[in-house]
Amino acid sequence: MNLLTRLPGRSRPLSRTLGQELARGARRGATRPARRLAWTAAALGALALTNHALARLAERRHPPEGRFLEVDGVRLHYTDRGEGSPVVLIHGNVVTGADYDTSGLADLLIARHRVIVFDRPGFGHSSRPRGRLWTADEQAALLRKALRQLGVERPVVVGHSWGAIVALAFAQRHPADTAGLVLLSGYYFWTLRPDVWIASLGAVPVLGDLLRYTVSPLFGWLTTPLLKRAMFAPAPVAPRFERDFSPAMALRPSQIRATAADAALMIPGALSLRAGYREIAMPVAILAGEGDRVVFKRAAERLHGEIPGSTLEIVPGAGHMVHHLVPRHAARAVEAVEAAARA
C-alpha cells in the first residue's frame, strides 16, 4: 500500500477524494454562468412585461381625441378642426401632434383656418408598419394621400423640427399641392451629430427590439427631465408642456422605435432635400430660436439664403421649442404665407 495516498483518519485514497472535490467544484463553477443567465433573462422578461403594461396604461389614460384614416396600410390618427383655408401641422420627434395644442398654435389658427394635425407614423395613436423605410419622402407621400382622402387642397404646411424635413419633402415633391411652408426649428443641412447615433440604437434590428422593450424606457424616464430642459433652453420649460406632455406615451416601445428610426433618418433626409432648396418657388417663412441647442440657428439662416424670397425670424431667448414661446409669431407667419400664396 502506498502511504502517500492516505491521510490519518481517512480510509479513502487522497487522489480519489481530491478528484471528487475538483469535480464538484467544476460542476458548481459551470452552473454559476447558467444561473446568472437565467436571472438576467428573468429580469429582462419582467421589464418587458412591465413596459408593455405601462404602455397600455398610458394609452388608456391618453385616449385618441381625433379620428382615424386608413392610408396605405397605416392607421393614421388626426384631428380636423375649424373652417377656412387649410393648414397642416406636422410635429417633430419625441412629441406627437398634440404638441401643437399644448403650444397654443393650433388654437390660434383654428379661428380662421381649417387645421389638420397628424400623428406621424409610429407616434401618438398612429401605426408604423414594419418593412418600410419611413423617410421624410415616404411620410410626405403618406400625408399627401391622407389629405386627398380628406378633400384638402393646397394647404399651408407647417413643420417643426423633424416635421420640417417632412414639410420640405412635401413641398419639393408635390409643389402643386402646397400653398406655402412655415418651418420651425428644422434640421436642413448635414452636420456631425454624435447624439444621432446614440438615439438611433432603438432602430437596430434585434438589438433595438431588445432595448426598447427592456432598458430603454427606464433610461428614458431617468433622462426625460434633462431632455425637456434641452428642448426649451435657454428658456424654461413651458408650464403647459410640463403639465400636458406624457413621458409614458413617448416611452412606449412602439414610439421609441419610431423616434429612433427618425433619428437614424434625419441626416439622410436633410441630404436628400438639400439640392432642391433653390428650386422652391412658393412662399416660405422660417422661424428659429436664437439659443436653440438642438439645431443651431445658423441652419435657419443658411436655409433662408438658399430659398429665394423666404422670410426669416430669429427669436431672442427662444430655444428649439420656439412655437411654445412665441405661438403668435408662428401664427402670423402662417397668415403671411397664406396671404402671399393668394397674391
* pLDDT per position as a tens digit, 228-260: 999 999 999 999 999 999 999 999 999 999 999
The domain limits of the chain are 66-342
Question: Nearest Cα to 165, choosing from 292, 265, 281, 290?
Answer: 265
Of the spans 10-14, 22-26, 258-262, 334-338, which averages the highest pLDDT? 334-338
Instruction: Decide if pLDDT at 124 tops 90.
Output: yes
Give the CA angle between residues 86, 89, 93 to the nearest 5°. Answer: 165
Instruction: Decide if pLDDT at 154 tops 80.
Output: yes
Cell numbers describing residue 83: 373652417
At 38 the pLDDT is 78
Main-chain dihedrals φ then ψ at residue 88, nearest 5 degrees? -110, 130
Tell me, what amino acid is at 206? Answer: V
At 143 the pLDDT is 98
Please list, residue by residue across 279-315, b when 16 or more beta carbons sit within 10 angstroms of its beta carbon and e when fewer do. ebebbbbbbbbebbebbbbebbeebbeebeebbbbbb
Instruction: Decide if pLDDT at 12 tops 70.
Output: no
The verdict on domain 66-342 having CATH code 3.40.50.300 is no
At 49 the pLDDT is 85
Model confidence at 332, pLDDT cuts 50, 70, 90, reads very high
| Residue that has been written with the C-alpha cell 480519489 in this structure | 16
At 287 the pLDDT is 98
Question: Nearest Cα to 140, choosing from 122, 163, 156?
Answer: 163
pLDDT tens-digit series, residues 170-225? 999 999 999 999 999 999 998 877 676 677 777 788 888 888 889 899 899 999 99
At 8 the pLDDT is 47
Model confidence at 10, pLDDT cuts 50, 70, 90, reads very low
DSSP-derived 3-state class of residue 181: strand
**% pLDDT > 90, the chain:** 74
53-57: long-range contacts, CB 8 A cutoff, minimum separation 24: 54/217, 54/248, 54/251, 54/252, 55/248, 55/252, 55/253, 55/254, 57/248
